[in-house]
Structure 1
Amino acid sequence: MREIQLRDAKATLSAVVDDALRGEPSIITRHGEPEAVVLSFAEWKRLSTVPSFGALLAVSGLRDEDVPERDGAPLRDLEF
């Protein structure tokens, strides 16, 4: 992923977008610090639809009996 300064990104926005469409996202920096990322809409959509861990567990097919019982032993004492 290439880094490009904000002022250069403004001047070449069309090229930055074209690069993103080709699968080459750009990090936009301001005063040397990363501020934003330009990526294609398709890539953003793919990344934003990643299911949550809870949703993955819900469709995993695990049943209560598949998960081992918790150990009922008291927690150990720690001395600081």
Structure 2
Amino acid sequence: MKTLQLREAKASLSALVEAAENGEPTVITKHGKPAVMVVPIGEGRKLYPQNSQKDFVDFLLQYPGGIELERNESPSREVEF
């Protein structure tokens, strides 16, 4: 796996994209610390599926402790404008 500094990555973005298309991930560092990784789109979609909103709702509904919603039944106060 290749590692580049951010400024090098900016200068060679086309090469990074081509490498990712060929299945070669690249780590980009910022101030000497790994910040991001450029990976092929297939790998990224495994981590972040397209239908993530639907999955998040399902996740909340499957919460093991259950979700209790409290509703305030008291009438709203009247406000004059």
User: Shorter-normalised TM-score: what interval?
Assistant: 0.5 to 0.7
Distance 2:16 2:35 in 1: 15
Determine helix, strand or coil for the equivalent of 2:46. helix
> RMSD over aligned Cα, in angstroms?
1.8
Instruction: List gaps (5 residues or longer) in structure 1.
Output: 50-80
Determine helix, strand or coil for the equivalent of 1:7. helix
Instruction: List gaps (5 residues or longer) in structure 2.
Output: 50-81
Question: Alignment identity in percent?
Answer: 47
Deviant stretches of 4+, over 6 Å: none
Normalised to the residue count of structure 1, the TM-score between the two structures is: 0.56
Deviation at 1:31, TM superposition (A): 1.4
Paired residue total = 51
Normalised to the residue count of structure 2, the TM-score between the two structures is: 0.56
Residue correspondence of structure 1 range 1-80 to structure 2 within 5 A: 1-49=1-49
